[in-house]
Chains A and B, each alone.
Chain A
Amino acid sequence: MARLSFRSFLPWLDVLAIAAWGIVLLKFWLTGQLFLLIHPNYNWLTIAAAFTLLLVSGLKAFFIWRASQRLGRQSSPPMQHVSLFPPGWGSALMLGMAIAGLVFTPQAFASQTALDRGLTDTLTSTRVNPQAFRSSTRSEDKNLIDWIRSLQVYPEPDAYTGQKAKVQGFVVYPPNLSEQYFLLTRFVITCCAADVYPISLPVKLAGGDSKTGLPAANRQTYAADSWVEVEGQMITETLDGRRQLTIQATALKPVPTPKNPYDY
């Protein structure tokens, strides 16, 4: 008897599992968390999939209900199929993960991931080649990714010396740089969170320099992972044995973490 009721419950488990994934996808969309997971170009695909899943589960539910009405307890013999998993196992796994997805709030990656993903190996490269090279823009209008792309096209740091910069990003302290520097970092996403990769520019803090009037900044002043807006001038520094374009900060202010922390 218990076996029979388990069997008649199985089709409903399918319905639940599929509906739950539709709801999870909708939840990510409506709460704006989709930005943390995938590139916005593909949002529509996810949304369409969410509605299709809900439609499929709704139709399936309707047919199961109708079959049970028509035949009472003697419902049509459940379809036997030998599959990869024991009966109910696949749907239970999907349902469980969907519930976990409903409860969980995705998190934007932070400095630990940036370091793990080789922030220090490839300071100046983006994987997607520049679509348009906007050399005419005022230098202080460039964001971090614009700077990196400029460097990719013309890598000589001296060419940018003296240009004004005003960029936003979060603070990463790599182990190989001295107290006076941090890396202003952003993640770039091309498809989904699996391929986000960090880009960054070193920022030189004033270090108690009387000329700039800024207080001596060190790692305590700006916490790792906090978002800041840096204003300053471009200089060339030799860091870790390489000549690198660096921002000499003249002003630094904390900014709120953006809703969509990734760049494209």
Chain B
Amino acid sequence: MNQLNNAFTLFLSLLVEAIPFLLLGVVLSGLLQFFVDERRLLSLMPKNSLLGALVGSCIGFLFPVCECGNVPVARRLLMQGAPVPVAIGFLLAAPTINPIVFWATWTAFRGQPEVVLYRIGFSLFIATTIGWVFGTQKDVRPLLQPALASVLSYRTQTSGGRGSGASTILQSGTYFLGQSAKPLITDPSELQAAMVATAAKPTSYRLRLLLDNTVQEMRELGSVLIIGSAIAAIIQVFVPRDVILSLGQSPVTSILAMMLLAAVVSICSTVDSFFALSFASTFTSGALVAFLVFGPMIDLKAVGLMLSIFKPKAIFYLFLLAGLLTFLLTLFLNLYIS
């Protein structure tokens, strides 16, 4: 009974600490999409694939979204003609390389600031590398879902014109108004896409969209957060300490265990550092960094969303590359640095 009480206290404390950051992330990512003109941004992107991947990894600073919000943004970037390295770099790095995640990670790991630095450095490195690797594939269409690939083909046929608003998918805002018989808005992220398409709509309409977006995201991400916090609390209270210690103190198994946990728990990147914090005393710091780097890139929830962009084969490559790089970098950290 006492154990149960401890577990629930722990669970609530994770939620109470994480909800403000989740809310901030949701509201800010909704707001900023009013102000950032993606097309103008894209015209500034470098053509070189390494540089493009690096810049793409860093534009998360303009869109502070976690891994649920970045997929639709990456999809829009691709559709609007972003070079592949830019889009991949953004897809992998944006959930980590953004001010709210920095703040949350700093809040959680005040006592171990090196964790924050490794998280940022490794994420940037991995995202840039993978973006660069994907940049060698000149024609990206075989990797994409047919619907998206055909939009790109259409764009190429019309001599690479900007095609602003010409494709049907880009006009989701119109459908959102309910003029179509069947509402086409299929998920909260589509709603975000609609918000961008409404730049010309009156402010009150945009504010209502912002409100709806906030409510939907809080519901979706809030439920994932609740499940994730429950898992963390249960593991911490009910799994015997020597089991966790024997797993968490070895340089190799600790990393593998945390990467597996990251992929399964699917907790949002704005709040995952609080989850990791509950393992801080028992797991190697390499394992904590692995969780914080790998989780935002690949997890069950994100894979579901990524299927709206890529074919399974491409996701498998992403998964493999991200997993291997995370493992090698954090193993190096465990063996030679900390």
* Residues of chain A whose beta carbon lies under 8 Å from any beta carbon of chain B: 14-15, 17-18, 21, 25, 28, 34, 36-38, 42, 45-46, 48-49, 52-53, 56, 59-60, 63, 76-77, 79-85, 89-91, 93-94, 97, 100-101, 104, 106-107, 109-110, 112-113, 116-118, 127-128, 190-195, 197
**CA separation between A83 and B221, bound complex, in Å?**
11
Do A195 and B277 form a contact, CB below 8 Å, given A85-B223, A128-B110? yes
19 A-B contact pairs sorted by A residue (CB < 8 Å) = A34-B16, A36-B9, A42-B17, A45-B21, A48-B20, A49-B19, A52-B27, A60-B211, A80-B186, A82-B187, A93-B226, A101-B12, A106-B9, A107-B6, A109-B6, A190-B110, A191-B108, A191-B277, A193-B12
Contact: A91 with B219, CB < 8 Å? yes
Contact: A192 with B220, CB < 8 Å? no
Do A194 and B232 form a contact, CB below 8 Å, given A46-B16, A107-B6? yes
> Closest residue to B222 on the A side, CB-wise?
A94
- Picked from A85, A93, A192, the residue with its CB within 8 Å of the CB of B274 is A192
Do A117 and B10 form a contact, CB below 8 Å, given A81-B185, A94-B226? no
Do A81 and B19 form a contact, CB below 8 Å, given A106-B9, A107-B9, A113-B6? no
Lowest 10 CB-CB distances: which A-B pairs, in order?
A193-B13, A194-B278, A49-B20, A90-B223, A37-B13, A127-B111, A192-B17, A45-B20, A192-B13, A106-B9
Contact: B107 with A83, CB < 8 Å? no
Known: A59-B211, A107-B5, A192-B17. 15 other contacts (CB 8 A): A37-B13, A38-B16, A49-B19, A56-B218, A77-B178, A77-B183, A84-B224, A85-B220, A90-B220, A106-B8, A107-B9, A109-B6, A127-B112, A191-B110, A194-B275
Contact: A21 with B19, CB < 8 Å? yes
A128 partner residues in chain B, CB cutoff 8 A: 110-111
- Picked from B186, B241, B275, the residue with its CB within 8 Å of the CB of A81 is B186
Does B47 sit at the interface, judged by CB under 8 A? Answer: no
> Closest residue to A78 on the B side, CB-wise?
B183
- Chain B nearest CB, measured from A234 CB (Å): 27
Contact: B215 with A14, CB < 8 Å? yes
B12 partner residues in chain A, CB cutoff 8 A: 28, 37, 101, 104, 106, 193
Interface size on B, residues (CB 8 A): 58
A77 partner residues in chain B, CB cutoff 8 A: 178, 183
A97 partner residues in chain B, CB cutoff 8 A: 15, 226
Do A83 and B188 form a contact, CB below 8 Å, given A77-B183, A106-B9? yes
Contact: B112 with A14, CB < 8 Å? no
A109 partner residues in chain B, CB cutoff 8 A: 6, 9
* Residues of chain B whose beta carbon lies under 8 Å from any beta carbon of chain A: 2-3, 5-6, 8-10, 12-17, 19-21, 23-24, 27, 107-108, 110-112, 178, 183, 185-188, 190-191, 208, 211-212, 214-216, 218-220, 222-224, 226-227, 232, 236-237, 241, 274-275, 277-278, 280-281, 301, 304
**CA separation between A149 and B278, bound complex, in Å?**
23
**CA separation between A165 and B236, bound complex, in Å?**
34
B277 partner residues in chain A, CB cutoff 8 A: 191-192, 194-195
**CA separation between A59 and B302, bound complex, in Å?**
30
> Closest residue to B304 on the A side, CB-wise?
A84
B186 partner residues in chain A, CB cutoff 8 A: 80-82
- Picked from A15, A52, A89, the residue with its CB within 8 Å of the CB of B223 is A89
B2 partner residues in chain A, CB cutoff 8 A: 110, 112
Contact: A56 with B215, CB < 8 Å? yes
- Chain B nearest CB, measured from A170 CB (Å): 15
**CA separation between A35 and B166, bound complex, in Å?**
55
Contact: B188 with A81, CB < 8 Å? yes
> Closest residue to A11 on the B side, CB-wise?
B215
Do A104 and B110 form a contact, CB below 8 Å, given A18-B215, A63-B208, A116-B241? no
B187 partner residues in chain A, CB cutoff 8 A: 81-83
Contact: B281 with A118, CB < 8 Å? yes
> Closest residue to B176 on the A side, CB-wise?
A79
A118 partner residues in chain B, CB cutoff 8 A: 241, 281
**CA separation between A143 and B197, bound complex, in Å?**
59
B218 partner residues in chain A, CB cutoff 8 A: 18, 53, 56
Q: Which of B178, B186, B190, B222 has the most CB of A within 10 A?
A: B222
- Picked from B9, B215, B281, the residue with its CB within 8 Å of the CB of A195 is B281
A79 partner residues in chain B, CB cutoff 8 A: 183, 185, 191, 212
Contact: A190 with B19, CB < 8 Å? no
> Closest residue to B10 on the A side, CB-wise?
A193
